[in-house]
Amino acid sequence: MNVWNCIINKDGKLISTPSSTMESTASRAVALGYFDGIHMGHQKIFSTMLEQAKKYKIRAAVQTFENPPASKSQKNLITTYPERCRLISHMGIDDLFALPFNERVKRMSPETFMEVCLKGWMHARVIVVGRDYHFGKDRQGDVKTLKAWGEKNGITVVSVDPINCEGRRVSSSWVRELIASGDVDMAEKLLDHPTAFSGIVEKGQQLGRKLGFPTANIRIPEQKMIPKFGVYASAYLFEGKMYPGITNIGMRPTVNKEDTVPLTETMILDGHYQLYGTTGTVMLLKFLRPETQFTSVDELQAQMTKDQEAAREYHRSRQIPVRFEGYV
């Protein structure tokens, strides 16, 4: 997948990073949106766009933003920009167009976005969007705007209806609600992949190792939303291989006296591995219990043994394979 980054200079001209002259002028079917999480509704937009690309024998493309638009929190993301890129790359997409959401882009009129970005940069022949898609300064542009412009320029605009699950429209907002409440298994259903985060394993107090529960400690990336504090059955992805695990997220109130930043501690259930300084990915599968402050370390150790067994039972009973394409 080619990733096309761009800047818009002081004259309002768009300067891009094309891979080749041929690819820079190729016609495309383009899916437009921010696509935080790449949930089922987003995947429907992508599949529709891929069908259009195949129909017209043109390249398949996705447009997104490198950083969150003003309507989205800078610290409430389901997926960071690199994570979105990796997930999208596994969907048969030829090109990813990434705009920076800066003041110049923020002030861009719908007309400028259509002429400069869609027509001049992406060479869109087909545009695919969700039914409630808005764009341009103050979100003035919508599907009606796109279709009227498309008719004048010979560009087909296809709007995709949302997907409903259990009587509710699937949305990134709903997924965030689920993650915040610890309902990561329902979030996985809507995303078709687990709630996950990656990072470098830090060397902590090593209390878990002393108690017989060695863990890989990873900080949640700053832009990502923090799941509900507590213990989760999890999977740990390391060097392309997935291991069943158990993860604690929170402040560790029984033993932590200094750290003010939430930490994730993941124990691989079978085997011991030297992970310090390596990069791993934690995938949350099932919330087991909320974070608790125990009266003693012995009480904590006893509960950790129970948590391990609960996590093992979950992994034994899980019938759906954990999808990790896009995280490697």
Check the CA dihedral 218-222-226-229 and report its sign: positive
Residue 20 confidence (pLDDT) above 50:
no
- Residues 228, 33: Cα–Cα separation, whole Å: 27
| Residue 223: partners with Cβ closer than 8 Å, 6 or more residues away | 68, 74, 75, 77, 80
Cβ–Cβ < 8 Å for 196, 184? no
The enclosing H or E element of 134 equals strand 134-135
**CATH superfamily placement of domain 181-317:** Riboflavin kinase-like (2.40.30.30)
- The domains of the chain are located at 2-165, 181-317
- pLDDT value for 171: 97
User: How are strands ordered across the β-sheet holding 28-32?
Assistant: 14-16, 2-8, 95-99, 59-65, 28-32, 124-130, 156-160
Helix (H, G, I), strand (E, B) or coil at 31: strand
- pLDDT tens column, 93-124: 999 999 988 888 888 999 999 998 999 889 99
Helix (H, G, I), strand (E, B) or coil at 66: coil
**Beta-bridge partner residues of 77:** 224
- pLDDT tens column, 42-95: 999 999 999 999 999 999 999 999 887 655 555 789 999 999 999 999 999 999
- pLDDT tens column, 244-278: 999 999 986 555 556 667 888 999 998 777 888 88
| Amino acid letter for position 237 | L
- pLDDT tens column, 292-306: 888 788 888 899 999
- pLDDT value for 74: 57
Helix (H, G, I), strand (E, B) or coil at 8: strand
Residue 2 confidence (pLDDT) above 70:
yes
| Amino acid letter for position 114 | M
- pLDDT tens column, 190-224: 999 999 999 999 876 655 554 456 789 998 888 89
Neighbours of 9 (CB within 10 A): 9
The stretches of the chain forming alpha helices (DSSP H) are 21-24, 40-56, 81-89, 103-106, 110-112, 143-153, 172-181, 184-191, 207-210, 297-317
Task: Give DSSP secondary structure letters for 90-102.
Answer: TTT-SEEEEE--S
Helices 172-181, 184-191: axis angle to 10 degrees equals 160
Residue 166 confidence (pLDDT) above 60:
yes
Fold (CATH) for 2-165: Rossmann fold (3.40.50)
- pLDDT value for 11: 66
Q: What is the DSSP letter of 178?
A: H
